[in-house]
Homo-oligomer: A and B are copies of this chain.
Amino acid sequence: MSNINTILERKPKNIAVNTNPQHDLHLVQPEIPEPGPNECLVHVRATGICGSDVHFWKHGRIGDMVVCGENGLGHESSGVVIKTGANVTRHKAGDRVAIECGIPCSKPTCYFCRTGRYNACPEVVFCSTPPYHGTLRRYHTHPEDWLHPLPDKLSYEEGSLLEPLSVALAGIDRANLRLGDPLVICGAGPIGLVTLLAAHAAGAAPIVITDIDQNRLTRAKELVPRVRTVLVGGAGEDAKTLGARMVDALGVEAKLVLECTGVESSIQAAIYVSQLMNVYDFWDMLTLS
């Protein structure tokens, strides 16, 4: 605990990783912020790099969110509380915490907050999406309500990955994945792999995962030995043939496909993985009127 009390003395400067419209990726030294009455000052100890961080740096935008000035990156973080605001009751200095980086308005008059879909709050402040700075920095202040206690058995690195894990869990929840569902996961990147772990825990069976990179598929096999893999590749392969290969590996039609690539050809192939989408009432509705 003496560590906590002396950390600001030992590391008296804040540091942060920023990008800007010139696509620089550079280290800056912002002020160390003072926590507001309901905030904690967190010493960030681990931050994952999201694809969106790379996107903001390389492309300067994601859809309508444009990097207009200096903007701090990072939103997959955990750390330790080192100072608390006057009204803080849930945390104290020394507490290890995971940071939930999307801070919704939580007002009862907000349809999304009131109905439990607070991730869609139109007033959300999401760290690292312009104009809000990110958490890839040493010191960060955060509302106490959106800091989650980290059990001792979780490392800071694991704590920082709770954010992408939440993406996978939310997808699995909304897709209503159930015990025994035959499942295809498209893509074995970070989101695909964490989706694989969650789907495994939810009892999906069998599970197929796809990727264009054999190394990623090998990693998937290490994580969940029972997963079946499909290497996507042959330049000329059309969506239907690829879909058929997925069904073949699954041994049965998929109940569900979780698409974790964002690549158009992958989405197209996914449509061919379940016969239920090829039936009369569907194409009548979609194709004819």
Contact = CB atoms under 8 A, between A and B. Distances in A.
Interface string A253-289: 0000011111000000000000110111101111111
Given A106-B107, A114-B118, A280-B126, A288 B275 contact: no
Interface residues of A, number: 67
A66 interface: no
Of A116, A279, A283, the most chain B CB neighbours within 10 A belong to A279
A122 B288 CA distance: 22
Interface stretch (A18-26, A79-87, A172-180): A172-180
A260 B289 contact: yes
A283 B171 CA distance: 11
A285 to B, nearest CB: 5
A116 B119 contact: no
Interface stretch (A29-37, A183-191, A220-228, A231-239): A183-191
Interface stretch (A3-11, A153-161, A162-170): A162-170
Interface stretch (A39-47, A130-138, A195-203, A242-250): A195-203
A63 interface: yes
Contacts of A146: 108
A109 interface: yes
A70 B203 CA distance: 43
Interface centre among A90, A129, A198, A281 (most CB of B within 10 A): A281
A278 B146 CA distance: 22
A289 B275 contact: no
Contacts of A164: 284
A60 interface: no
B280 A262 contact: no
B288 A262 contact: yes
A284 B191 contact: yes
B286 A262 contact: yes
Contacts of A251: none
A15 interface: no
Interface of A: 50-52, 55, 62-63, 90, 102, 104, 106-109, 112, 114-120, 122, 124, 126, 129, 145-146, 164, 166-167, 169-173, 176-180, 187, 189-192, 198, 201-203, 258-262, 275-276, 278-281, 283-289
